[in-house]
């Protein structure tokens, strides 16, 4: 049994309290810009205040709690994540990182540890895909890269501009923060690697880039009962073979040293009738890697594969979005590794296949992430679960890393 300075029972109580703030009959649902999200924000603000933090909202609508440092000129060490959820699946995703950040601040106070840097606890606005169809709104705002045309997006008569204002933000004032010395984010892994290897913690070396590719195959719709099999231009048959090959190519690339995934997550058939040969198929590929060369090669492979379609099938391929991978900062990675060793936690370096607010914070400051295990790798579903003992161990490592970063330069 490890002797931790953080309070595991308090972490558990906080997570339990937040889990109860959910849409009725939908555990656990607290979507950004909803009344339930606002209720969760109000609860967090009260906890920040009770912990002695100075509570504010920044221009991007992020909730902040500050523990002032002894030498403000040194800047701010920031910890946190997000409290919004996807529908039906957010008991730990995001909010664990906010609660851990709060617990670190509490522990430092209880132990009488005065930092030279300010310590900011942050709950980023709308990390998950919001009702406006966009994500990482708060961290993009803090980094000064929130697309201004997004502000005109509307949902049920409310613009994103107004929604940010309703969360305490001032969209036109969003400029990059300049005083952040380091940013650290604890998050559940959302995968099976740590659990499968019996490892306590994952230290993230990079957040994978995400490329989304649309492919449309066009054949010819014909009567399903009268068109001979050998004369058809069946777009679905060609698409089925293509999907299988995409999966096989992704498996091949994943066997190397790099992180790589490719998923056909959207698929539609036209005309979509049982008695009509499919004449058109649209598919959307979500491909992710921490190696930019791997992604370029996969795009090249995809184009080449489309030259091998049946002669009666034509194809159109276009890249809808192409986000580069984000490396984490070596100094913060090293600080987390040293802290893990100091508290006796086993750890491994790993890539995050999911996107996080840390990807945008890395534009502002040295950044790294710490993963705690997820039971059976489940996430974004009601079964999502992480052990409190694992989260508390992660909190202890975060606290140790914060203290070490604060003392650098002595």
- Tokens in use for 160? 């994103």
7 strand-pairing partners: none
d(CA 322, CA 213) in angstroms, rounded, equals: 9
List of E strands, 168-299: 180-188, 201-207, 209-218, 260-270, 280-289
Q: For the purposes of burial, counting CB atoms within 10 Å of the CB of 299, is it exposed (0-12), middle (13-18) or buried (19 or more)?
A: middle
Paired sense of beta strands 280-289 and 158-159, if any: unpaired
- The distance in angstroms from the start CA to the end CA of the chain is 33
67 strand-pairing partners: 119
- The backbone torsions φ and ψ at residue 63, rounded to the nearest 5 degrees and listed phi first, read -90, 130
d(CA 360, CA 362) in angstroms, rounded, equals: 5
| 290 contacts 351 by C-beta, under 8 angstroms | yes
Quick one: DSSP state of residue 132?
T
Cite the DSSP H helix spans in 114-158. Answer: 137-143
Report which secondary-structure segment, H or E, holds 399: helix 388-407
Quick one: DSSP state of residue 73?
G
Residue positions in the annotated binding site for allantoate?
A: 212, 275, 288
Beta-carbon contacts of residue 117 (< 8 Å; ≥ 6 apart): 69, 71, 74, 75, 76, 77, 181, 405, 406
d(CA 161, CA 154) in angstroms, rounded, equals: 9
Residue positions in the annotated binding site?
A: 82, 93, 128, 187, 212, 275, 288, 380
d(CA 174, CA 6) in angstroms, rounded, equals: 34
Tokens 């994540």 sit on residue:
81
- Tokens in use for 267? 């698929």
d(CA 67, CA 76) in angstroms, rounded, equals: 10
d(CA 406, CA 181) in angstroms, rounded, equals: 9
Of the candidates 97, 125, 108, the residue with the CA atom closest to the CA atom of residue 68: 108
Residue positions in the annotated binding site for Zn(2+)?
A: 82, 93, 128, 187, 380
Torsion of CA 131, 134, 137, 141, to 10 degrees: -140
């Amino acid at each position: 049994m490890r002797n931790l300075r953080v309070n595991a029972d308090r972490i558990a109580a906080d997570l339990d309290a937040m889990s109860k703030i959910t849409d009725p009959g939908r555990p656990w649902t607290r979507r950004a810009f909803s009344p339930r999200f606002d209720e969760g924000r109000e609860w967090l603000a009260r906890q920040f205040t009770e912990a002695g933090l100075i509570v504010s909202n920044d221009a991007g609508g992020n909730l902040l709690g500050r523990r002032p440092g002894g030498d403000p000129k040194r800047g701010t060490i920031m910890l946190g994540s997000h409290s919004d959820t996807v529908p039906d699946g957010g008991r730990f995703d995001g909010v664990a990182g906010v609660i851990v950040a709060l617990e670190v601040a509490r522990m430092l106070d209880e132990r009488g540890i005065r930092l030279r840097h300010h310590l900011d606890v942050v709950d980023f606005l709308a990390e998950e895909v919001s009702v406006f169809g966009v994500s990482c709104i708060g961290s993009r705002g803090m980094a000064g890269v929130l697309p201004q045309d997004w502000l005109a997006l509307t949902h049920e008569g409310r613009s994103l501009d107004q929604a940010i204002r309703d969360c305490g933000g001032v969209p036109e004032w969003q400029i990059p923060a300049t005083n952040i010395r380091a940013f650290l984010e604890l998050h559940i892994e959302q995968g099976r690697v740590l659990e499968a290897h019996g490892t306590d913690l994952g230290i993230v070396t990079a957040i994978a880039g995400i490329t989304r590719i649309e492919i449309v195959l066009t054949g010819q719709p014909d009567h399903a009962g009268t068109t001979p099999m050998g004369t058809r231009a069946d777009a679905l048959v060609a698409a089925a073979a293509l999907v299988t090959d995409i999966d096989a190519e992704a498996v091949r690339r994943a066997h190397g040293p790099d992180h790589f995934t490719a998923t056909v997550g959207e698929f539609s058939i036209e005309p979509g009738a049982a008695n009509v040969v499919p004449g058109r198929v649209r598919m959307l590929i979500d491909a992710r890697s921490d190696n930019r060369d791997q992604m370029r090669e996969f795009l090249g492979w995809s184009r080449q594969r489309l030259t091998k379609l049946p002669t009666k099938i034509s194809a159109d391929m276009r890249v809808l979005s192409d986000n580069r991978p984000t490396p984490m900062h070596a100094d913060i990675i090293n600080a987390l590794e040293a802290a893990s060793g100091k508290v006796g936690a086993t750890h491994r370096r790993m890539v995050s296949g999911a996107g996080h607010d840390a990807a945008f914070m890395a534009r502002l400051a040295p950044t790294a992430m710490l993963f705690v295990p997820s039971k059976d790798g489940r996430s974004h579903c009601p079964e999502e679960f992480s052990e409190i003992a694992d989260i508390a161990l992660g909190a202890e490592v975060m606290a140790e890393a914060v203290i070490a970063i604060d003392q650098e330069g002595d």
